[in-house]
Amino acid sequence: MVSNPLTDPEWADRTVDFIDRVVSTVRRYTTQPLVTTARGLVFGLLGTFGVVGILVLLIVGITRGLQAALDSVVNHDASVWISYFTLSAVFAVIGFLLMRRRYTEEDK
């Protein structure tokens, strides 16, 4: 039933509640999924960049630590090359193991 705004004291409250419900419904189905997707994308990228940065710093630290440890045994030039060859062998073994695990028995 249509009410007269001049005689109905509840008209303003009901109108505001109706507008609030409509705006909330529109926001729930349009804006919130976009905001959730954008947040997931931003936080995912930040996390990925952080992990990659930490891995790079870890590898550099391992390389420098290995060179420092080898400096006490051999000269500096030899310790650099020995550390490179040692880490490349470790990463090659890790790569070989991961390549063997890429397929399961069902895929073969």
* pLDDT tens per residue, range 50-81: 999 999 999 999 999 999 999 999 999 999 99
Residue type, 24: S
Q: What pLDDT score does 73 carry?
A: 93
Dihedral sign, Cα of residue 91, residue 93, residue 99, residue 104: negative
Q: What pLDDT score does 3 carry?
A: 64
Tell me: pLDDT of 8 over 80. no
| CA atoms of 12 and 20, how far apart (whole Å) | 12
Query: What's the DSSP call for residue 108?
Result: -
- Specify the higher pLDDT residue, 40 or 11: 40
Q: What pLDDT score does 15 carry?
A: 87
| CA atoms of 65 and 57, how far apart (whole Å) | 12
Tell me: pLDDT of 2 over 70. no
3-state DSSP assignment of residue 14:
helix
3-state DSSP assignment of residue 87:
helix
